[in-house]
Structure 1
Amino acid sequence: MKVLYDHQSFTGMAYGGVTRYFYELMRAFADRPDVDFELSLQFSNNEYLDRASFSKHRRFGLSHWRNVSRLASAVNRLYSIQRVRAHDFSVFHPTYYHNYFLRYLGNKPLVITFHDATSERYGKQYPEVGEHLYEAKKIQMQRADRIIAVSEFSKQEILRFFPIAPEKIDVVHLGTAFSRQRSPIPSVPGTHRYLLYVGKRGLYKNFARFFQAVRPILQRHPDLHLYCAGGGSFTATELAQFQAAGLGQRVHFRAITDSALYALYHHAEAFVFPSLNEGFGLPVLEAFSAGCPVVLSNRSSLPEVGADAALYFDPEQVDSMTESIEKVLTDSALRQQLRQRGAERLTHFSCEKTAEKTLAIYQQLAG
C-alpha cells in the first residue's frame, strides 16, 4: 500500500501544527514495511522536513526575488498534479484544502484531515483566517472517502458547519514529538520566575485580553516575568502596551527551536493558553511532556485534551483568567498536582497512536 501526500502546507509554512502533523505521520511510517508513501514536493523551507530523510526537496531563498515563493508554489503544484495523474498510489491525503487535484484523482481513495473550523467560526470577524475556505473545504469533504477529525470537538464542528454524514468521520487525536525529548534540558536565560505564552497572538488567540489579565499579576509579583515564545516578534502596538503598563522590561519574546521551547515549558511556573478556538491544542501536550503546570481556556477542544490535568478559566472574562493564573502561581502543591496529572494525561496521546489509527483508515480504503 502506498500513500501520496501533496505539497500544499509544506510550501507555505516553515513550521506549525499542520506541517508538524503530516511530518510526524511520515516519520512514523518511514521505517515500517507495511506502508510506503511519497511526498510530492520540490521546494520547501519547512523546518521539520530539513531533518527528514524521506523528503528530497530543496530550500528556496526569499531575499533576492520577491516572487520566488509564488514560483516555488507553482512548481510544487505542477509536480503534485503530475504525481496525482500517475495514479501510483493507493490513497491520496492532501495537506491542505485547495482542490487543484480533483480533476486528476479519478476514483482513487481520498482521505482528508480537518483540523478546526476557525475560518467558519471567525471568518467574518477576522477575514485573515480564511473566510473563503468554506466552499473549498465543503467540496473536498464531500468527495473524501474518509475524514479525519483531530478531536471530538472538531468532529462536531464539521457536523455543525458542513453537510457531512457523521459515519464518514473518524476522530484521531494527535500526539507530540516533545515526549521524545531527553536530558539534558537546556537552561533558560535569566534567573527570574516566569509565565509562558506560546504561539501566535492575534485574532482569536486572545493575547490582548490575556495581557489585561496577567498585568496586575505581574505588578503584584515584581520578580515575575512573561515569556512569549514563537508567533513572530512583538508589534509596535504590543511594545507600547507593555511600556504603558510599566512592564517593558519584564515581557520577553523568544524565537524557538524544539529544544528551546521544551526548556521554556520545563522551567516555567505555568503555561497559559487563552485561545478562543483550537481544533486540538498541541501546546497542551507539549507542556505536559515538559512537566509544566497548565492553565487553559475552557473553550473548544481544550477541555477534551486537558481533562483534569489543567486549571480552566473563561477566556472572555479577564477576572476569571486572572484568578486562575494567580491560583496556580501561588499554590506550589497545586502546581505539583498539575504536573503529575499532566504526565498521566499524556499517556493517552502519542504520535505512534496517531499513526496507527491513521494507517488503519488507509488500509481499510485500500482494501
Structure 2
Amino acid sequence: MIKLLIDAHVFDGKYQGTRTYIQGIYSAMITHKDIEFYFAAQNVSRLKSIFGIAENIHYIRLDATNSIWRLAWEYPRIIKKYKIDYAHFQYICPLIKCCKEIVTIHDLLFLDFPKYFPLSYRIKNRTLFMYSAKRADLLLTVSEYSRKEIKRHFKITEDRIYVTSNCVSMVNDKIGLTDVKAKYGLDKYILTVSRIEPRKNHQMLLKAFLELQLYKLGYKLVIVGAMDLKNKTFSTLYKSMTDEEKESVLIFQASYLDLVALYKQAALFVFPSFAEGFGIPPIEAVAYSCPTLCSNQTAMAEFDFFHECFFSPYDIRELKNKIMYFIQNDVTQICEALQKEIVARYNWKNVGEKLYQLIKDDKK
C-alpha cells in the first residue's frame, strides 16, 4: 500500500487553476484502492464534500496559515507522523525532503513575461521553483509549452518532465442550473472568465466591445473573476466609460454551478489572454456548447482544433471581426465538432491513470 500526501491548501483560498487540477486528477485516482490518499488543508469539510468518504481517503487539518511555516515545519512533521511514501506539491516543496516528492510546475510565465509580475515575486519564485523542480522524484507540468519552458529555464531534460494536462470536469446534466436571467438579469451577453490582471488582457475585450457598440444591440459583457494584480489600462478605460456603457459591463465572481450556467447560456465566450500555462476556461466553454474565441499564444496554441476560433491578442481588428461573425452567424456545427474533440482529448480519467502509473513505475 502506497501512502500519498496531497498538499490541498489551495482549497482554503480564492479559486484558481491549481484547485481544478488537484480536484480533477485525484477525483479520478481515488478509485485505486492500493493507494491511501491523505488530503491536507485547513478547510477539511470542503475537501470531504469534494473527495468523499472511503477507507483509503484520509483528511489532515493544517494548522499553519503561513506558507513558510507550513513548508518548513508542518509538512515534514505530517510526513513523518503518517509515514508518507509520496507527497504531491504544486510549484514548491518543503525545505527538508522527508519522502519521495511529486511536484507540478504549472507554468513559468513570470520568467517568460516578467513585465506582468512584481520583481520580488520573480526573484523568490525562480529560486524556489527551480530548487523544487530539480529535487522532484516525479516532475509534472500541464502542457507541452510549459514542459519546454521548464527545460529551457531550469536546464532539466525533457524526459524527466511529464505532462499531466488540465481537463474539463463536466457537471451532471440532472443537476438544476441557475437561471442567469433571473439571478443576474442577463439575456444576451458575451462572457470571459479569469482573474483581472494585465496578462489576461481584459482591456482588449472591453475596448472591442465598446468600439463595436454591442451594448446598443442589447448585449452585455460579463467578466467572471476577481481583481488580482492592478490593471491600470483596464481601470482607466472603465473609468472613462459613460453610464450607459458601464451598465452593460458586469464584473463578479460566481460558483462553479453558476459558471456552468453562464457558459451554457452565453452568446459567445472570448479568452484574450496574452499568456497561459494551459488555459482552462476556453475548453470549459466549448465543452458546455458555448461558441468560443481563444487567444492563439503560448500554451493555448496547443488547442490546434480551434482553427477559425483562434485570434491574436495583439490584433483588436481581428478580434472585432470574429466577434461580429460569431454573433451574426449560425456556428452550431463548429461548436459541436469542437465539443467532441475536447471531451475526448481532455479527460481526467486518462490523466489520473497516467499519474497513477507514474507512481507505480517509480515505486518498482
Asked whether the two chains share a fold, i.e. TM above 0.5, the reply is yes
Q: 2:178 maps to what in 1?
A: 186
1:89 Cα deviation after fit: 2.5
**Structure 1 residues 250 and 310: alpha-carbon distance in aligned structure 2, compared to 1, 3 A threshold:** same
- Partner residue, 1:104: 97
Counterpart for residue 81 of structure 1: 76
- Give CA deviations for 1:309-345 in whole Å, capped at 9, x if unaligned: 660111012212212222211111x244224322333
Q: Aligned partners of 1:310, 1:147: CA distance in 2, in Å?
A: 34
Distance 1:335 1:270, change over 3 A: farther
Query: Is this contact kept in 2: 1:281–1:305, CA < 8 A?
Result: no
Secondary structure of 2:97's match? helix
Change (3 A) 1:129 1:255: farther
Report the Cα distance in structure 2 between the residues aligned to 1:289 and 1:282, rounded to whole angstroms.
11
Pick the aligned partner of 1:346 from 335, 343, 346.
Answer: 343
- Counterpart in the other structure of 1:147: 139
Gaps of 5+ in 2: none
Q: Deviations over 1:258-311 (max 9, x none)?
A: 110000000011110001111111112211221111100110111313623660
Q: 1:280 to 1:129 in 2, by over 3 A?
A: farther
Give the equivalent residue in structure 2 for 1:289.
287
Question: SS in structure 2 opposite 1:110?
Answer: strand
Q: In 2, Cα distance between the equivalents of 1:85 and 1:95?
A: 20
Q: Compared with structure 1, are the counterparts of its residues 135 and 366 closer, same or farther at alpha carbon in structure 2 (3 Å cutoff)?
A: same
Deviation at 1:246, TM superposition (A): 4.1
Q: Residue type of the partner of 2:94?
A: Y
Residue 224 of structure 1 aligns with an amino acid whose one-letter code is Y
Q: CA deviation at 1:249?
A: 0.9
Counterpart of 2:189, as a letter, is Y
Aligned pairs, number: 352
What's the secondary structure of 1:40's corresponding residue?
strand
Moved more, 296-305 or 77-86: 77-86
Distance 1:159 1:259, change over 3 A: same
State the AA in 2 paired with 1:17: G
Residue deviations 1:195-251 (CA, integer Å, cap 9, x gap): 001011212111112211222223475211111112249999368436348411111
Which position in structure 1 is the counterpart of 2:160? 168
Q: TM-score w.r.t. structure 2 length?
A: 0.85
- Pick from 246, 252, 273 the counterpart of residue 275 of structure 1: 273
1:335-360 Cα offsets, whole Å, 9 max, x none, are 44224322333211111111111111
Aligned equivalents of 1:270, 1:39: Cα separation in 2 = 37
Corresponding residue number in structure 1 for 2:199: 204
Distance 2:51 2:236 in 1: 36
Query: RMSD of aligned C-alpha atoms?
Result: 3.1
The whole-number CA distance in structure 2 between the counterparts of 1:174 and 1:48 is 19
Determine helix, strand or coil for the equivalent of 1:14.
Answer: coil
> CA 1:245–1:357 in structure 2 vs 1: closer, same or farther (change >3 Å)?
farther
Does the residue aligned with 2:246 lie in a helix, a strand or coil? coil
Q: Which residue of 2 aligns with 1:217?
A: 212
Deviations 1:45-67 (A, max 9, x none): 9966654435646699xxxxxxx
Matches within 5 A, 1:322-333: 322-332=320-330
Q: Is 1:361 equivalent to 2:358 in the alignment? A: yes
In the alignment, is the contact (CA less than 8 A) between 2:38 and 2:60 conserved in 1? no
Show the counterpart of 1:249.
Answer: 247
SS in 2 for 1:307: coil
Code of the aligned partner of 2:272? P
For residue 312 of structure 1, what is the amino acid of its counterpart? F
Gapped regions of structure 1 (runs ≥ 5): 61-67
> 1:139-180, CA deviations, whole angstroms, 9 ceiling, x for partnerless residues?
111111222121111111112222101110112222121354
Partner Cα separation in structure 1 for residue 275 and residue 45 of structure 2 = 25
The structure-2 alpha-carbon separation of the partners of 1:167 and 1:288, relative to structure 1 and needing over 3 Å to count, comes to: same
* Residues 113, 275 of structure 1: alpha-carbon distance in 2 compared, 3 angstrom cutoff: same
What is the distance in 1 between the residues matched to 2:120 and 2:15? 17
State whether structure 2 residue 117 is matched by structure 1 residue 126: yes
Distance 2:215 2:9 in 1: 47
Deviation, structure 1 residue 25: 2.5
**Contact 2:195–2:227 (CA under 8 A) maintained in structure 1:** yes
